[in-house]
Amino acid sequence: QVQLVESGGGLVQAGGSLRLSCVASGRTLNNDRMGWFRQAPGNEREFVAAIIWPNGITFYGDSVKGRFTISRANAKNTVYLHLNSLKPEDTAVYYCAVGSGILSVKTSAAYDYWGQGTQVTVSS
C-alpha cells in the first residue's frame, strides 16, 4: 500500500505561480512512475505531468507544456509540480498518483494509488 498526500494548492492570480507537493509513504519508490492529473467540475480527469522514478524522464500534457515542471526528491519520496504562468483554465483539483505498470503514463489506468487532491484556483 502507498499513501499519497498532496499540498500546496490555493488561490492565485493569473500569471502567478504555485508549487504542489506530493509525499508518498508506505514503501520506498523504486520502479515507479508518479503522475499529476487534474479535474475541473464537469470535465474528465486530465493528464498533467509524470516522472519515471528510476531515471527522471518526464512527460507533460499539451496544455501545460512549457509552463509546468515536474521534479522529485528521491530521499523524501516526494514529487513536486511547479505551476508557472497560471491561467484561469488551470483551475481544478490536482491529484498525484503512483503506479508501476506498463501502460502509458498519460492514462489514469497506469496508476494504482491516488491522493485526495489539492484545489488550485486561478483568478482572472
- pLDDT one-digit tens code per residue, 73-93: 988 899 999 999 999 999 999
- The helix, strand and coil proportions of the chain, stated in percent and rounded to the nearest 5, come to 5, 50, 45
- The DSSP secondary-structure symbol of 63 reads T
Query: What is the predicted pLDDT for the residue at 28?
Result: 83
Asked if pLDDT for residue 101 goes beyond 80, the answer is: no
Query: What is the predicted pLDDT for the residue at 40?
Result: 96
Mean residue pLDDT across the chain: 95
If you search the block for the grid coordinates 507544456, which residue do you land on? 65
